[in-house]
């Protein structure tokens, strides 16, 4: 199966960078802060889950949106993938504001914006208000689909 995984608040704990900078979680336009994407920690279980999906034989890509007005976000996201996932995700990063354009079986995303809601496969809504609240639930959901 081809699986796409979002970064912010799915693979990456966006709020961790805000805490490191001493900013409130509701800081307006936080994603426009230069360098902010390079300071984020992985979500609990995310790295292991990504590696497990690859080990299970799935065709796994990272599909994220980078803020248009924050040029450092584009390179920061690539550096994050290299740092935390290394060769297992080499050349597997796709940055797009139109996620519905990609073909695949599953999209794991915490939101329905940027085309995630119109994705032509199964959208696993990740997070506390989604279908799967953590990575263990995501892996279980994928096992049920396959």
Which residues are the active-site residues? 6, 8
Q: Which residues touch 97 (CB under 8 Å, ≥6 apart)?
A: 65, 68, 114, 115
Q: Which residues touch 23 (CB under 8 Å, ≥6 apart)?
A: 30
For residues 67 and 49, what is the distance between their CA atoms, to the nearest angstrom? 26
Nearest residue to 4 (alpha-carbon basis) of 94, 118, 79: 94
């Amino acid at each position: 199966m081809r699986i796409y995984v979002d970064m912010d608040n799915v693979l990456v704990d966006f709020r961790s960078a805000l805490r490191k900078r001493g900013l409130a979680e509701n800081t307006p336009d936080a994603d426009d802060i230069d360098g902010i994407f390079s300071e984020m920690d992985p979500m609990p279980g995310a790295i292991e889950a990504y590696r497990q999906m690859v080990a299970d034989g799935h065709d796994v890509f990272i599909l994220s949106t980078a803020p248009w007005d924050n040029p450092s976000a584009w390179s920061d996201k690539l550096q994050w993938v290299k740092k935390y996932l290394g060769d297992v995700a080499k050349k597997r990063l796709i940055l797009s504001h139109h996620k519905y354009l990609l073909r695949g079986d599953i999209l794991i995303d915490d939101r329905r914006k940027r085309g995630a809601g119109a994705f032509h496969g199964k959208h696993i809504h990740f997070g506390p208000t989604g279908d799967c609240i953590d990575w263990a639930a995501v892996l279980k959901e994928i096992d049920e689909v396959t």
